[in-house]
Amino acid sequence: MNELEQSISSYFDIHQELTEKLAQLFVVEQLERHAFHTQLGTRQGKLSFVRSGYLRIYKQTDKKEVTQWISSPGEFTTDLNSILFNLPARWNIQALTACELYTLDAKAYERISEEIPEWPVIEKLFMGKCFMAIEDRVFSFLSLTAEERYLLLHETKRDLFKHIPMHYLASMLGMTPETFSRVRKKIVS
């Protein structure tokens, strides 16, 4: 069982045969460092499981570039607007390192229910888990201090601190690089 099958099996709690059937719909994709998985405004919807490497989900505003998330090995990544609704992507998703992904393009995504009759139930579970993650993230921004958000990220995604430039982590946590540096210095000392 490869990483994708293990993740599908544990994430969705489905039997082995269904796990293998779903995993077979994904194709291996290699991305070089700085290559785009998805570009803002395009309709190239795809859902990918990150086998190795890191992808940054971000957007440029009038004043600054905002990192929404860093996708790590073992996580899924997509632009929901593009994959679910065939609308222009709302985010750039760019490789920060060389990446190996298991990818399902929009056409294959649309055909899943033909191949797997249980897909609507599985998809509902997947979307529910996505919304729960969003709720947790919003709650952390509303209820935690900058220091607490830093510590939570350090506890849950420690590998990012070794592989990702600090200004991207600062942006993802809603901090300026200066605030991030002060928080890190305070915690380390």
CATH class, 3-115 region: mainly beta
Three-class secondary structure of residue 44 per DSSP:
coil
- Across 53-174, the runs of DSSP E, i.e. the strands, are 55-60, 65-71, 76-77, 92-95, 99-105
**pLDDT score of 188:** 82
How many CB atoms are closer than 10 A to CB 19? 21
**pTM (2 d.p.):** 0.93
Instruction: Say how far apart CA 89 and CA 147 lie, in whole Å.
Output: 32
Structure tokens at 62: 């009038």
Give mean pLDDT, residues 147-170: 96
**pLDDT score of 1:** 58
Instruction: Say how far apart CA 121 and CA 124 lie, in whole Å.
Output: 5
pLDDT per position as a tens digit, 21-68: 999 999 999 999 999 999 999 988 999 999 999 999 999 999 899 999
Q: Hey, CA dihedral for 56, 150, 12, 97, is it positive or negative?
A: positive
